[in-house]
Amino acid sequence: MVWLSVESMTKTQSLRSILDHFTSTRNVNVDPAAKQTARDFIVKTFKDHGLHTWTEEFRSNQDKYPGVNVVGQLPGRYTGTSDDKIVVIGSHYDSVQTSPGVDDNGSGITALLQALKLYTSPGAVVMETILNYNNTPNSQIFPPVYQKYFPQAYQRLSINKFRGDFLTVVGRSYDDGKLISGISNAFKKMKTSPPLHLVSQEFER
């Protein structure tokens, strides 16, 4: 059983109210209207947060349906100057044909919409499949190349018996080090129930 405080319940309800907009298959081959509805919600949310918002089409593997990115910009104090620093928070809002789209990637876009104003260090934050939690041993499966590229993280997860009770932060050691450090330090101050671990994975550019 997981016990939540009133504050935690309020936050959970807030997250759920967003996630409820991303519980259908958002794939142009299955339901293009659902993808459009999700995109409209993102555009509205960006604008409600005061972001300068626009969409950009790009060529996709579907001739009939071009890809559409939603871009929201929150200008800072130094926008347009030589001191301007850019923070990118990204997440895809579509889904594959066989997925209801809740975790992939409703969880990521939900976190993005909740975290619009949280990051101030230059870099990019991409939210991807962050919903599932399972602390059963061997509940987390890794691709074969994971151990090769992230040996330290793999060893730590191995000691934890490959439980799916963690979030990962992946970035370049030099370019993203400050951002990764900021996220890690902020996470250490959080108390989660059930316990959730943060695993940093850094690689050279």
Going residue by residue through the chain, which has 205 residues, state the pLDDT in tens, using 9 for 90 and above.
334 343 444 567 888 899 999 999 999 989 999 999 999 999 999 998 888 999 999 988 777 888 999 999 988 888 889 988 887 889 999 998 988 899 989 999 998 988 775 554 566 667 777 777 888 999 988 888 888 888 888 898 999 999 988 888 888 777 778 888 888 888 888 877 777 878 887 776 5
Assess contact for 141 and 166: CB atoms under 8 A. no
Alpha carbons 125 and 87: distance in angstroms, whole number: 8
DSSP 121: S
Phi, psi for residue 83 in degrees, rounded to 5: -95, 5
